[in-house]
């Protein structure tokens, strides 16, 4: 499979190494300096693009891929306020997008069980629920996209919760999502339910970036021939 990497930071470099090990071809690696060349790539050269850039670049990159009939796998977070526009353009241009805040298979199973636990725990109001995420100091957005997906999964099952705040809170109608930036931490996410009697946690710790990169490659392999907007739930059939 011919893969175009849009973004060539640590994640892009890891994807390149693992994709080559699986026998895929990397037809281009676009950095900030040559991002303008994206429009020159077409479906005759590229089977799928994998996009890990920045929130202010992702939407334009995705739409350019739609225009050039290139399926795109996007792992950039922080741009979802523009998702309605992206879905509209995807339908208009018959494009193909798989977006995930996190491509790790373990994290996506975490999302699945997070919703199941929230559905059960909301029946027990003596437990307070909170989210915490810890990442490396280079991560630009906070909360992390993964933490926001976790928060959405909780709020979906808590009628009393009206939203979230990026901080600790004692306000029962608001979900607290605490962020920490520490060293080179790959990614840690914790959902904590606390009562006077005990504490119950869901806890995921990423040890390397390879889990994210492997999931992104798996998504890329799944994409050709599909049309529409997809997520990891579609790929994993959760």
Q: Are 77 and 55 in contact (CB under 8 A)?
A: yes
Count CB-CB contacts under 10 A for residue 109: 14
Q: What is the dihedral of CA 175, 176, 177, 178, to 10 degrees?
A: -170
Region at 108 (left for phi over 0; alpha for psi -120 to 50; beta for the rest): alpha
What is residue 209's predicted lDDT score, i.e. its pLDDT?
84
Is a pLDDT exceeding 90 seen at residue 237? no
Mean pLDDT calculated for residue range 98-107: 91
CA–CA dist 83, 197 (Å, integer): 42
Query: Is residue 50 helix, strand or coil?
Result: strand
Catalytic residue among 24, 132, 135, 189: 135
Q: Are 17 and 5 in contact (CB under 8 A)?
A: no
What kind and span of H or E run contains 74?
A: strand 72-74
What is residue 140's predicted lDDT score, i.e. its pLDDT?
78
Mean pLDDT calculated for residue range 160-182: 96
Catalytic residue among 10, 82, 112, 139: 139
What is residue 61's predicted lDDT score, i.e. its pLDDT?
97
For 109-159, write each residue's pLDDT tens digit: 999 999 999 999 999 999 999 999 999 998 878 899 889 999 999 999 999
What is residue 141's predicted lDDT score, i.e. its pLDDT?
82
Indicate the pTM of the whole model: 0.79
What kind and span of H or E run contains 25?
A: strand 25-30
What kind and span of H or E run contains 128?
A: strand 128-135
CA–CA dist 17, 28 (Å, integer): 13
Is a pLDDT exceeding 90 seen at residue 35? no
Q: Are 55 and 101 in contact (CB under 8 A)?
A: no
User: Partners of 26 in the beta sheet?
Assistant: 3
Is a pLDDT exceeding 90 seen at residue 50? yes
Mean pLDDT calculated for residue range 5-19: 95
Structure tokens given for 33: 């300096």
For 14-27, write each residue's pLDDT tens digit: 999 999 999 999 99
Count CB-CB contacts under 10 A for residue 169: 16
Catalytic (active site) residue 136: no
Q: Give 156: exposed, middle or buried? Use CB within 10 Å, 0-12, 13-18, 19+.
A: middle
Indicate the average pLDDT of the chain. 95
Portion of the chain with pLDDT greater than 70, in percent = 100
From first CA to last CA, the distance across the chain in angstroms is 26
Which domains does the chain possess? 2-103+210-236 (3.40.50.720), 105-206 (3.30.360.10)
Catalytic (active site) residue 157: no
For 63-92, write each residue's pLDDT tens digit: 999 999 999 999 998 899 999 999 999 999
DSSP string, 156-205: TT-TT--EEESS----TTEEEEEEEE-TT--EEEEEEEE-SS-EEEEEEE
What is residue 112's predicted lDDT score, i.e. its pLDDT?
93
């Amino acid at each position: 499979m011919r893969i175009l990497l849009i973004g060539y930071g640590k994640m892009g470099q890891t994807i390149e190494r693992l994709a080559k090990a699986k026998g895929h071809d990397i037809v281009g690696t676009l950095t900030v300096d040559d991002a303008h060349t994206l429009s020159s790539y077409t479906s005759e050269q590229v089977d799928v693009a994998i996009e890990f850039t920045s929130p202010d670049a992702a939407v334009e990159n995705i739409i350019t891929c739609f225009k050039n009939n290139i399926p795109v796998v996007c792992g950039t977070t922080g741009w979802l306020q523009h998702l309605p526009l992206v879905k509209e353009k995807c339908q208009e241009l018959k494009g193909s997008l798989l977006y995930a805040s996190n491509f790790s298979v373990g994290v996506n199973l975490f999302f699945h069980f997070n919703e199941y636990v929230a559905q059960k725990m909301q029946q027990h109001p003596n437990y307070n629920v909170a989210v915490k995420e810890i990442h490396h100091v280079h991560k630009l957005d906070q909360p992390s996209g993964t933490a926001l997906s976790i928060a959405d999964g909780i709020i979906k099952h808590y009628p009393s919760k009206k939203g979230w705040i990026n901080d600790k809170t004692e306000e029962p109608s608001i979900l607290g999502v605490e962020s920490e930036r520490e060293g080179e931490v790959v990614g840690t996410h914790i959902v904590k339910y606390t009562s006077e009697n005990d504490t119950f946690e869901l806890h995921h710790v990423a040890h390397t970036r390879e889990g994210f990169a492997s999931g992104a490659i798996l998504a890329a392999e799944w994409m050709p021939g599909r049309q529409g907007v997809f997520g990891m739930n579609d790929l994993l059939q959760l």
